[in-house]
């Protein structure tokens, strides 16, 4: 079994820093999306790593659009034994394709980069396009499209909201925490148990990812009792 994950920083494992690295290296990591010295630690201690062998196609700051495009590329090479884990990010994020970098630019980053070539486009988007109606439509159609592809190709899958999306309800029996989110559940668990499940930047810490993974595994077992 290999778990293939799509999502934003919450699935990716942002802020999971190897405590054995020198302090100056840990500080340098704070500003980097990827760094080889920390890759193994992050991938081992994030949600997917706690589930088992995995391919983590999540990205910090990712959007539902970015998730959908990466999923579409991955599903071309789907193999028996893969299970898709979709952790949908919040719905107000948006992406544009950069044909110079051959990659997607996300509003999560553009909003802080006034020299980014997409910054003027981002401002226009906020002024004339950004609204609950559009965000709901993009989120709903992208999520249902990913789920429909899984069903049509018999790809095992589960899905849940990583971040709150109270207005976006996905009518599917493999959707975990419907009307709720990974963010909500972990905050509620922290309040009940009076334990810290978060790093200083607001992402789950090692114990947070461990708790989430146990809930996800329980849900997988209820939906796919024949999968080890």
Q: Supply the DSSP symbol for 204.
A: B
Rounded-to-integer distance, Cα 121 and Cα 126, Å: 9
If DSSP codes are grouped into helix, strand and coil, which group holds residue 132?
Answer: helix
pLDDT of residue 195: 85
Residue range 152-188, pLDDT digits in tens: 999 999 999 999 876 567 889 999 987 789 999 999 9
The mean predicted confidence, pLDDT, of the chain is 90
Mean pLDDT over residues 77-106, rounded?
94
Tens digits of residue pLDDT in 8-47: 999 999 999 888 887 666 666 554 544 677 889 999 999 9
Distance CA 142, CA 45 (A): 28
- The yes/no answer on whether domain 2-94+130-223 falls in CATH 3.40.50.1110 is yes
Q: Global pTM?
A: 0.91
Three-state SS at 84? strand
Domain locations in the chain? Answer: 2-94+130-223
Instruction: At 202, list the tokens.
Output: 């607001």
pLDDT, greater one: 225 or 132: 132
pLDDT digits (tens, 9 = 90+) for 123-143: 999 999 999 999 989 999 999
DSSP 53: S
- Pick from 86, 83, 32: nearest CA to 60: 32
How far from the centroid of its chain's Cα atoms is residue 171's Cα? 20
């Amino acid at each position: 079994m290999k778990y293939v994950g799509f999502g934003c920083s919450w699935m990716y494992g942002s802020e999971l820093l190897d405590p054995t690295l020198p302090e100056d290296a840990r500080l340098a990591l704070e500003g980097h999306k990827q760094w080889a010295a920390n890759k193994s630690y992050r991938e081992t201690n994030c949600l997917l790593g706690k589930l088992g062998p995995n391919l983590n196609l999540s990205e910090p700051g990712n959007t539902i659009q970015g998730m959908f495009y990466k999923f579409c590329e991955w599903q071309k090479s789907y193999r028996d034994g893969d299970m898709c884990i979709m952790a949908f990010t919040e719905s107000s994020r948006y992406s544009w394709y950069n044909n110079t970098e051959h990659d997607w630019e996300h509003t999560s980053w553009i909003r802080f980069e006034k020299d980014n070539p997409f910054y003027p486009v981002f401002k226009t988007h906020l002024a004339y396009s950004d609204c609950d109606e559009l965000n709901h439509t993009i989120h709903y159609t992208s999520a249902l499209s990913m789920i429909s592809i899984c069903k049509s190709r018999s790809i095992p899958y589960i899905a849940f909201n990583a971040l709150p999306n109270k207005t976006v309800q996905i009518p599917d029996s493999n959707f975990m925490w419907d009307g709720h989110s990974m963010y909500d559940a972990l905050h509620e668990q922290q309040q009940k148990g009076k334990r810290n499940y978060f790093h200083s930047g607001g992402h789950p810490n090692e114990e947070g990812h461990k708790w989430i993974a146990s809930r996800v595994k329980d849900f997988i077992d209820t939906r796919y009792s024949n999968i080890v």
